[in-house]
Amino acid sequence: MAAGGDAIGRDDDGRVVFVEGGLPGEVLDVEITDERKDFARGRVTAVLEPGPGRTAPPCPNVALGCGGCQWQHIGPVTQLELKAAVVDDALRRIGRFSPEELPAMTTHAVAPTGYRTTLRMAVDRGGRPSYRLRHSHQLLAPAQCMVAHPALEELVVEGRFPGAREVTARVSAATGERLVLVTPRAVEVRVPPDVIVVGANSLKKGRPAFIVERVAGRDWRVSALSFFQSGPAAAEALVGVVDAAVGEALPTGGLVVDTYAGVGLLGGVVAARRAARLVAVESSASSVDDASHNLVDLEARVERASIDHWRPSLGGSPDVVIADPPRAGLGAAAAEVLTGLGASRLILVGCDPASLARDARLITSAGYTLSGVDVVDLFPHTFHIEAVARFDRIVRDATHPVQSSP
């Protein structure tokens, strides 16, 4: 499978074809939709020989062309195996890691239904929240959505937002609170009375709008404009994997730096569990406000900065650095800032395998060894992939190079 979700096959002439709706090991009839010099793109018109893991899409929206979930034709177990294979391939091909350098990979996934508690959707002419059809600007107002939490599904199926261009709907699985952010403004909105409605314009004037979610035994304020994982199950799963990766590298009272910290989730849990000190760094004003609120009971400092230009003032090296950048990854500038902190362990959470592989190479080139990789499926039925890579600093002794063992 290619990182974008298509299967990679060959046509009768041996030409590479990226096939939407395909699976490894299949023989398919494919309609070619795009021809290039060295490859083509196409979509499945008939499955002649199904591959292992092929299944009937459980959601009826797939037959209507919904672009929301791309991997409904693959069973959940196979989805996870394929995601792990994509990460492995990226690390080998893009990161140029040899088999000896690659640690054994472990996999984790959230339940494949009802997991999403935030959805950002277009609005159709009838004011209905809509997904885009695959390869199209046309919209589909869903009559149901199996990946949405029930309280969110009701909101996006029954809510009406005439005149709006886009809605972001967010619910709390813990408290039942519901919130919609309407762009550009909320006029004649029809939603149940419990729903907090806020227009993008009024939000800019400082009107607060947030829900409170519960993850890892802590409450998390999440404002309309702040990032949050696909839902509390995803947050719980990711926190569990990151916490295990941090392990004994962060002692009681130690220092952890959480970068791209969002509302403070990863660093907050890791620090709270070890009574550790925390510095959380994040660029979005909304997330920084939430993180400051969420971490108030900890020995924590929240800084608003872009990591590429961050000038750390920590008074020494932290024990652990966590980095959870957006799809573009760290890049050279941020990787230099983070490896320059000199932590004994660095945890990189990546939502794009290619960026993760590039960043992993930057980090190992700066004196770390790749010591763990976990693939966590936070978006079942889609091709989105999340992976957590663990790096340990190599401590070089003049005579005997040894790896740090915290």
The residues that are catalytic are 351
Q: Which stretch binds ligand SAM (CB under 6 A): 56-64, 177-185, 300-308, 359-367?
A: 300-308
Q: Which of residues 39-98 bind ligand SAM (CB under 6 A)?
A: none
Interface pick for ligand SAM out of 265, 276, 295, 347 (rule CB under 6 A): 265
Sign of CA dihedral 359, 364, 365, 368: positive
CB 363 within 8 A of CB 346: yes
Q: Which stretch binds ligand SAM (CB under 6 A): 91-99, 189-197, 226-234, 378-386?
A: 226-234
Q: Which of residues 6-25 bind ligand SAM (CB under 6 A)?
A: none
- Decide if residue 203 touches ligand SAM (CB under 6 A): no
- Decide if residue 307 touches ligand SAM (CB under 6 A): yes
Distance of closest approach, residue 286 Cβ to ligand SAM, in angstroms: 8
Q: Between 90 and 323, name the residue whose CB sits nearer to ligand SAM.
A: 323
Interface pick for ligand SAM out of 282, 352, 359, 377 (rule CB under 6 A): 282
CA-CA distances (angstroms) from residue 295 to 96, 234, 263, 278? Answer: 39, 20, 9, 9
Strands 255-259 and 129-132: unpaired
Rounded to whole angstroms, how far apart are CA atoms 355 and 76? Answer: 24
- Decide if residue 324 touches ligand SAM (CB under 6 A): yes
Task: Retrieve residue 187's tokens.
Answer: 């006029």
Rounded to whole angstroms, how far apart are CA atoms 197 and 45? Answer: 43
Task: Retrieve residue 337's tokens.
Answer: 């800032």
Q: Between 306 and 403, name the residue whose CB sits nearer to ligand SAM.
A: 306
Q: Between 228 and 368, name the residue whose CB sits nearer to ligand SAM.
A: 228
Residue 355 host element (H or E): helix 353-365
Residue with tokens 């074809």: 17
Rounded to whole angstroms, how far apart are CA atoms 319 and 342? Answer: 8
CB 212 within 8 A of CB 196: no
CB 220 within 8 A of CB 214: yes
Q: Count of H helices and E strands in the chain?
A: 8, 21
Interface pick for ligand SAM out of 33, 306, 365, 403 (rule CB under 6 A): 306
Site string for ligand SAM, 355-394 (x = CB under 6 A): ----------------------------------------
Q: How many residues bind ligand SAM (CB under 6 A)?
A: 17
Interface pick for ligand SAM out of 172, 229, 294, 364 (rule CB under 6 A): 229
Could you tell me which residues are beta bridge partners of residue 19? 7, 42
Distance of closest approach, residue 212 Cβ to ligand SAM, in angstroms: 15
Q: Between 3 and 164, name the residue whose CB sits nearer to ligand SAM.
A: 3
Interface pick for ligand SAM out of 287, 294, 339, 344 (rule CB under 6 A): 287
Burial of 10 (0-12, 13-18, 19+ CB in 10 A): exposed
Residue 358 host element (H or E): helix 353-365
- Decide if residue 260 touches ligand SAM (CB under 6 A): yes
Distance of closest approach, residue 54 Cβ to ligand SAM, in angstroms: 31
Interface pick for ligand SAM out of 97, 131, 161, 227 (rule CB under 6 A): 227
Interface pick for ligand SAM out of 78, 117, 284, 364 (rule CB under 6 A): 284
Q: Which stretch binds ligand SAM (CB under 6 A): 49-57, 151-159, 303-311, 383-391?
A: 303-311
List alpha helices for 159-276, DSSP H: 200-204, 232-246, 265-274
Cα angle value 170/175/179 (rounded, 5°): 25
Q: Which stretch binds ligand SAM (CB under 6 A): 6-14, 60-68, 122-130, 221-229?
A: 221-229
Q: Which of 389, 379, 322 is nearest to 353 (CA)?
A: 389
Q: Which stretch binds ligand SAM (CB under 6 A): 86-94, 201-209, 258-266, 294-302?
A: 258-266
Which residues contribute to the site for ligand SAM (CB under 6 A)?
A: 227-229, 260-262, 265-266, 282-284, 287, 306-308, 324, 326
